[in-house]
Amino acid sequence: MKNYLTLSLLLAMVSCGDSKKAAEEAKETVLDSVNMVNTVALAKQRTIDSMNAVRADEKKASRKNKVVNQGTSTAEANGGNNTNENSSGDSKKKKMSNAKKGAIIGGGAGVVAGAVTGAATSKNKGKGAIVGGIIGGAVGTGVGYGIGTRKDKKQKEKTGN
């Protein structure tokens, strides 16, 4: 479409008889637009080629995983190298247990609550905040771990593992 528009512009300028300079400029404009179209087409093709290459690599990787899952263990497929992967080929990340989550959240909340309480009740605000934060963090971690462990046990009983 752009080529037709540029070509019609070229013909209009030449037919008006402006000058040779105008005709040359119009020719350059047409050539520039054609070159731009070719450049864009080349860039599109490069993008398509790279996407196809990535897709081919993904297919190869999935085929390799299927072969590993069907016939051999992970250690055999890796040339005897024992890795941390499951022999079933699962590449899922192991989720953090509720006990760990509870300990982290409880510890953080305990530090904040202990620091605020220690600073509010102590004559020496800085020292009170530090001591309160340490005590609060320890208590919060313990409580959070206990609650998380209870949740883990309930989930284990629910799934039957």
* Rounded Cα gap, residues 99 and 146, in angstroms: 7
Least Cα distance to 148 among 91, 89, 92, 106 occurs for 106
Phi, psi of 21 (to 5 degrees): -65, -45
In sequence order, which ranges of the chain are alpha helices (DSSP H)?
2-16, 20-71, 74-77, 98-121, 125-159
Task: Check residue 69 and give its pLDDT.
Answer: 58
Which residues of the chain fall short of a pLDDT of 50?
74-77, 82-87
What angle (nearest 5°) sits at the alpha carbon of residue 44, between those of residues 40 and 50? 145
Task: Check residue 67 and give its pLDDT.
Answer: 60
pTM: 0.41
* Rounded Cα gap, residues 121 and 128, in angstroms: 7
pLDDT tens-digit profile of 35-62?
777 777 787 888 888 888 888 888 887 7
* Rounded Cα gap, residues 129 and 41, in angstroms: 66
The token duo for 131 is 């001591």
Task: Check residue 2 and give its pLDDT.
Answer: 58
Task: Check residue 13 and give its pLDDT.
Answer: 56
Task: Check residue 161 and give its pLDDT.
Answer: 62
Task: Check residue 85 and give its pLDDT.
Answer: 46
Task: Check residue 143 and give its pLDDT.
Answer: 92
Task: Check residue 94 and give its pLDDT.
Answer: 78
